[in-house]
A and B are shown apart, each in its own frame.
Chain A
Amino acid sequence: MRIIAALGMVALLAACSSGTTDGAGTPAADAGPVTLQYWCWGQPTKDKVEAFNKAHPDIRVQHTDTGGGTDTAAKLLTASRAGNAPDVACVEYQTLPAMIVAGALADISAHTADVKDAFSPEVWSLTSFDGAVYGIPQDVGPMVLVYNRARFGELGIEPPATWEDFAKTAAEVRKKDPGAYLATFAPAEFGNFAGLAQQAGASWWTVRDTTWTVGIADPASLEVAAYWQNLIDEDLVKAEPLLTPEWNNQLNKGKILSWPSALWGPSVLYGIAEKQAGDWAIAPLPQWTPGDERVAFQGGTALTVTKNSKHAQAAATFAKWMNTDKAAYDIQIAKGEYPASLAGQRATGESEPPPLVAGQKDYWQVATKAAQSTIPHLSWGPNVSTAQSAFQDAMSAAVRDKTPLAEALKKTQQAVVDDMKSTGFKVAGP
């Protein structure tokens, strides 16, 4: 079914984009407005595109919601190989290297000199590699603990400051309300685990002189696995997939009390637990070392310009406007998305918190603090999708069969290294 839908989408867009390239081929058409195809998902997208179109009579952007980061990446790769990718597409930071290696994205460094300083160096480094720029950052997801403050109050517990406290709090929750869990260990949450491991000091991919090192099963990652292993073994967290009808139901009943995720967490939860608006809040993510403040990014997207695009300049103009203009980031903030640009982040100070956390007065302060404490740039590898699917299957099997999570990590590491070697990458180690 999904294949058919994807093929249908590709065919449809092929029809659209071939229409536009025909028009642009003739010199006379250059006078008229340029039409750009744009693939993205996320709540603020539609309104932002409308605002852009209103402000730019010479560029018309046609937006298609291609559904989520993984789906969009799959469609973008397929369309790109067929030569009819859209002009601009949203790509998650973790997928960027894979897209670059697939030859899908254009280097837009010639057009970005004027916006480079609109972003912090950490954020800018998410999309630029060795001077080449492959996208304009749209939103970032510094990790925070999203928790049900109302239920925390009922049970008389506080958001834990360290992971050690987090385990103690989890035990307390089980004692005070045997039907409830402090949190979930979702075996399919690749990005989440990567973020937690990075916070502990892991480094999953590094590259030096074209030789890669893969550290998915490095000591820090194994330590994080051991930590969650213990919580699962003691029945202190719920080990099951997130955001399923089952999980949503438990959350709505107040039986899942927190979600260590990122700043986009509240808007995701609002989508499934509207009734709990105002009950939730965010707190800094627990730390491995007391007094530490650093957190990783989880998720977040950039607007990229494809190699297939015939209108790189107009596409870059669009990508820049979408992520630096006041009108654009105001829409983002109103929908609960945390902007990547410095001006956007500053503007959050005067904004209302998103509906799920409406009761939290210091929401944006906590958010800004998290954003300022992010670890510079987790380097993602060229085959993150392989890593992700290997991770998800190995972790799910480990949770199901009650085998060690550490073994699942090692299995993932091996699958990633084997895949990179067979593609022709130089990889250090076995």
Chain B
Amino acid sequence: MTGGPGGPGARRGARAPYLFVAPAVLLFVAFLAVPIGYAVYLSARGLRLTGGGVFGTREEVFVGLDNYVKTLTDPEFFAGFGRLALYGLISVPLTLGLALLFALLIDHAGSRARRFSRTAIFLPYAVPGVTASLLWGFMYLPSTSPFSYLTRELGLGEIPFLGAGGIYPSVANVAVWGGVGFNMIIIFTSLRGIPAELSDAARIDGASEWRIAWHVKIPLVTPALVLTGLFALIGTLQVYGEPTTLRPMTPEISQVWVPLMQIYRDAFLRDDLPLASAASVILAAGTLLVSVVLLKVTQRRASGGMG
């Protein structure tokens, strides 16, 4: 980036990189660093009662690590992560598995109506999460569900989509339905990048399509799989819209079903922004940690597998 040693352009060139990164740095500072810093600052504050007014007034004071202690000793907060894990165990493998399967099928030379299938599978991604949740919500509720209608007509009773057993698959299904298409496109794009000679060579060697997929294509799209896996994991930690939209329809989903819902409740219903900030900081740090670990582990595996 810097100009050649000596030369009159050297000093001018030294300033150029800073100018080029300035807009990005400014945006980063204004919209990421400052808000994060403010959240960290808020997390050390607390609203405590002082005199004044008929009942006293809650004023913001410094409380140190009180909010962190309160969050980390709250069993409900960790129960939220437990529910998140259950949800993730269903949604992440299904999303990635289906996305990979569809990508391979569409990539397969013999498949028909590829463009149509690709669009059809991608389309749900264009439906906003809240709309998707409402749509599926109607399909889950006994008296509006077409599935429960069929089973009822067959004398099998209603399917408890929103009951104790069905709630995790039901919520995960909304995310899977919306997420498969997007992930499929990423994997499919990666598949397109594989030189045709590799598959051709394997085919000439007598490999079946199944073996080509398993031993040639999948290892080569591993980076795409890691990327989509990371997105899916972060997406899981940030689940909020689907359960919040489904909540009024079932007692199974409490107001603190997942950590973000608890953060929303504390911030906006309980008017305790500092406590919510502390929980947010913990959630963000956890997300970062999990992402780094996942990347490290998969990088080792991916390179090990290739070598």
Which A residues have a C-beta under 8 Å from some C-beta of B? 1-3, 6, 70, 74, 77-78, 81, 97-98, 100-103, 129-130, 132, 187-188, 207, 210, 240-241, 243-246, 249-250, 253, 382-383, 385-386, 388-389, 392-393, 396-397, 399-400, 419, 422-425
Contact = CB atoms under 8 A, between A and B. Distances in A.
Contact of B58 (A103, A132, A243, A250): A103
Contacts of B270: 383, 385-386, 389, 419
A58 B130 CA distance: 42
13 contacts: A74-B269, A100-B55, A101-B56, A103-B59, A245-B137, A246-B249, A393-B254, A396-B254, A400-B164, A400-B252, A422-B70, A424-B48, A424-B56
A424 B255 contact: no
A81 B143 contact: no
B115 to A, nearest CB: 32
Interface string B48-76: 11100111111100000000001000000
A188 B252 CA distance: 12
Contact of A400 (B244, B251, B273): B251
A385 B254 contact: no
A245 B144 contact: yes
B169 interface: no
Given A2-B264, A103-B58, A129-B54, A397 B271 contact: no
A349 to B, nearest CB: 36
Contact of A249 (B143, B250, B251, B254): B143
A2 B144 CA distance: 25
Contacts of B70: 422
A101 B254 contact: no
B235 interface: no
Contact of B273 (A2, A81, A187): A81
A191 to B, nearest CB: 15
A113 B245 CA distance: 45
B237 interface: no
Contacts of A423: 47-49, 58
A241 B249 contact: yes
A2 B138 contact: no
A245 B55 contact: no
B53 A103 contact: yes
Interface string B136-156: 011001111000000000000
What bracket does the count of chain B residues touching chain A fall in?
35 or more
B141 A246 contact: yes
Interface string B248-279: 11111011100000001100111101000000
A241 B251 contact: yes
A240 B248 CA distance: 10
A389 B257 CA distance: 12
Nearest to A210: B56
Contact of A393 (B255, B264, B268): B255
A253 to B, nearest CB: 8
A1 B55 contact: no
B56 A393 contact: no
A1 B130 contact: yes
Contact of A207 (B55, B265, B271, B273): B55
Contacts of B268: 3, 6, 74, 77-78
A389 B141 contact: no
Contacts of A383: 270
Given A132-B53, A383-B270, 9 more contacts: A1-B128, A2-B244, A241-B251, A246-B141, A246-B142, A250-B143, A253-B143, A388-B269, A424-B50
A259 to B, nearest CB: 17
A74 B47 CA distance: 16
Contacts of B97: none
Most A CB within 10 A of own CB, among B240, B255, B270:
B270
Given A246-B141, A396-B254, A98 B269 contact: no
Most buried by A among B59, B141, B245, B252: B141
Given A129-B55, A385-B270, A392 B255 contact: yes
B275 to A, nearest CB: 10
Contacts of B56: 101, 210, 424-425
Contacts of B254: 392-393, 396-397
A393 B257 CA distance: 10
Given A98-B271, A241-B250, A424-B49, A1 B265 contact: no
B222 to A, nearest CB: 34
A250 B265 CA distance: 30
Interface in B211-255: 240-241, 244-245, 248-252, 254-255
Contacts of A2: 244, 264
B251 A97 contact: no
A187 B247 CA distance: 13
B148 to A, nearest CB: 11
Contacts of A382: 55
Interface string B74-111: 00000000000000000000000000000000000000
Nearest to B137: A245
A400 B256 CA distance: 16
Nearest to A381: B55
Contacts of A393: 254-256
Contacts of B144: 245-246, 249
Which 8 interchain pairs have the tightest Cβ spacing? A424-B49, A396-B251, A74-B268, A246-B141, A249-B143, A393-B254, A129-B54, A103-B57
A244 B268 CA distance: 23
B54 A389 contact: no
B173 to A, nearest CB: 18
Interface in B15-39: none
A141 B249 CA distance: 25
Given A1-B130, A2-B244, A100 B53 contact: yes
A1 to B, nearest CB: 5
A392 B49 CA distance: 26
A305 to B, nearest CB: 15
* Residue of B48, B57, B256, B271 with highest tally of chain A CB at under 10 A: B271
Contacts of B57: 100-103
Nearest to B53: A100
A187 B251 contact: yes
Contact of B251 (A100, A102, A397, A424): A397
Contacts of B245: 1
Interface in B148-177: 164
B130 A399 contact: no
A74 B272 CA distance: 11
Given A246-B249, A397-B251, A102 B271 contact: yes
B251 A240 contact: yes
